[in-house]
Structure formats: C-alpha cells, structure tokens
Amino acid sequence: MNVSRPVRFVDGAAVRCHDVAMDDVVDFYRGPGQLVAAIDAALTGAGVDRDSLRPADLASVDEFHIRGRAATTEIAEALRLSPDSHVLDLGSGLGGPARTLAELTGCTVTGVDLTPDFVEVATALSEWTGLGDRTHFRVGDATATGLQDAAFDAAFTVHVAMNISDKPALYAEALRVLRPGGRFVAYDVLQGEGGDVRYPVPWADDASTSFLATPPEMRDLLAAAGFEVVAEVDSSDESLAWFREVRARVERDGPPPVSFGAFLGERFGQMAVNQVTNLAERRIRTVMFTCVRPG
C-alpha cells in the first residue's frame, strides 16, 4: 500500500513530514525571534571586532553540540576532506560545523535544517565570517532533502537524530545523497544504560520530541541503511570533562558574549545541569560513527 506522508510548508517550500513532532521540534528551537539581530547586538555589545570575525569566535552559539568545535575538528579528520569536496550537513543548525569544516579544509558545505530561523542565522553568520561562498543553507527535512542522488563527496550529522523518530529514513537519505565510496559521520547523543533521560535537555523539553537510539541500535540502523561502519568512538568521558571545562572557564572569565541561551532562553541553565547529570549517570552517551558508502 502506498501511504502518502503529510506535507508542511516552510518558507513556501513543501516539506514532507515523517512524523507530526516536527512542528514541535521547530517550536522548541526557534526561540523568541529576531535571532540574527540578537546575536549581532550581543557581539557588538561585547566589543567583538566584526571585520576580523572568525568561526571560532562564534563557537559558543553556533557549535550547538557537546564538545563544540573540538568534536567538529574530529569530524573534519574522519571525513578526509579536500578543497574539492562537496559536503552535506544534515541538520546544520546555526551553521558552526559547516563553517569550521569549510575553514579547516577549504571544502564547500550545503546545510539542511528544519528550523527556518536557524537557516537565516546560519546564512548571516557565514556572510559575517567571509564564508558565504563556501557554506550554503536551506530549509528542509533531513529524512527527505529532495537533493540529487550521489551528489555529495561526504556527509555528516551532529546532534540531530535525537529529534528524529524515523531513523531508517534519515540514514537511508544520507546514503542516497552520498557518492559510492563517500564517507558519512554521525555524531549523536545516544541512550545510555543508566536510565531515562532527565528533561529538559538542549534538544527537547520532554520525551515527546526525543528519540534516542542505543549504541547497538545505531550499529544496526547504519548497517541496515547500507553503510559500512569503519569506526565507532564513545566520547562520553570527554563530554563530561568538556562540560566541567566550560563551567570552569565561565567562572574564571565570565559568560561568552553570546550562547545557546539566545534561543533556548532561561531554560538553558537547567538543561546544562541536566546534561551533566545525564552524562555522569550514563543516561546518555556521546558516540561518533564513521561510515563508508560501499563503492
């Protein structure tokens, strides 16, 4: 039986929905609005020199995942990129990982994200950092991007699958758009063995938009999609240490000019506390899978 999926419209474009939680996901992330102006004002207020703005200066707001820019650097290495590489970022957020990859390797990155406000910010921040020609962002669903088959040399996704219940569709889409022999990295928060996640967390207020796979489930999902998994690295201990370093830095130097609180609001404080508890009690794990589409 051919069951058609519901369609929602984002920025005038039809986006096929795999689950009704997508509207709730966008509502969770979008924040109070006027996000470009808010980030602009925060940077100006902190005296950040806009003429010499580099991706690293924005990491406190645009590398929206555990271990920030350090994890993105690992992804750049795992993907084995060159200046000729065209890379797809599934769930590109505010574009920090895309800009870091473009800056480190000279590659070109296309980012797809469900939240229109984030796509607007990602596009603006790329212009501000002089990377507008090598990073491009569009609104879309990572499970059905509408992009051409085998169009990318490499693909990655960072802390996105937690919001996606239809994981087979996500990894099938990653495989479909990747050229044979191309590499795919999935760096995500996984369900640990320590019990249910304590909410709120920086990807969900509650379990209704949170769908964590366990490490064995991830292995099965990637293999079922057709990937060969060539590396699996659990960074949960490093993630815990990273949170402690961030906290020590804030206590020593004060908060950064702009942070995830710009869109998550005051709830971000409790979310950060819960993240540390979730990691310490192994309710969550951070794991990076490096895969190859067989050629």
Shortest CB 86 distance to ligand SAM, Å = 18
What are the tokens at 64?
Answer: 């929206």
Q: Which residue is nearest to ligand SAM (CB)?
A: 93
Shortest CB 122 distance to ligand SAM, Å = 9
Shortest CB 2 distance to ligand SAM, Å = 22
Shortest CB 161 distance to ligand SAM, Å = 8
Per CB under 6 A, residues contacting ligand SAM are 25, 29, 63-65, 91-93, 96-97, 112-115, 118, 141-143, 158-160, 163-164, 203
Shortest CB 295 distance to ligand SAM, Å = 27
Of the two residues 115 and 210, which places its CB atom closer to ligand SAM in the complex? 115
Of the two residues 43 and 122, which places its CB atom closer to ligand SAM in the complex? 122
Of the two residues 125 and 160, which places its CB atom closer to ligand SAM in the complex? 160
Cβ contacts of 207 within 8 Å, gap of 6 or more: 196, 197, 199
Of the two residues 103 and 141, which places its CB atom closer to ligand SAM in the complex? 141
Shortest CB 114 distance to ligand SAM, Å = 4
Of the two residues 31 and 96, which places its CB atom closer to ligand SAM in the complex? 96
Of the two residues 29 and 227, which places its CB atom closer to ligand SAM in the complex? 29
Helices 215-225 and 167-177 cross at an angle (nearest 10°) of 40
Of the two residues 111 and 192, which places its CB atom closer to ligand SAM in the complex? 111
Of the two residues 25 and 107, which places its CB atom closer to ligand SAM in the complex? 25
Distance between CA atoms of residues 222 and 175, nearest Å = 9
Give Cα 27 to chain centroid, integer Å. 17
Shortest CB 294 distance to ligand SAM, Å = 25
Shortest CB 284 distance to ligand SAM, Å = 13
